[in-house]
Amino acid sequence: MSKGKNQHVTPHPDGWQVKGAGNSKATVITKTQKEADTIAKKIATNQKSEVLIHGKDGKIREKNSYGNDPKNIKG
């Protein structure tokens, strides 16, 4: 199975949006960042990709992987 597109949670004039990497349009627009994050996690889990959560300034503040982690992690 190939890896899906990473999902970005970013600010939008109407609230927050979930947008697949490289997409020109938002997958969904929500009122809160929490709602957008929940939706992005579901998509990323299904696609075995990552969620990148951006702050209001647009900078990435959190990154989570759903099913695409390397197998040999020590720690």
Domain boundaries, given as residue ranges, for the chain = 7-65
pLDDT for 45 beyond 60: yes
What's the mean pLDDT in 46-54? Answer: 96
Cα end-to-end distance, the chain, whole Å: 28
Indicate the pTM of the whole model. 0.85
Instruction: Label residue 1 by pLDDT band (50, 70, 90).
Output: very low
CB 44 within 8 A of CB 50: yes
Burial of 29 (0-12, 13-18, 19+ CB in 10 A): middle
Instruction: Label residue 67 by pLDDT band (50, 70, 90).
Output: confident
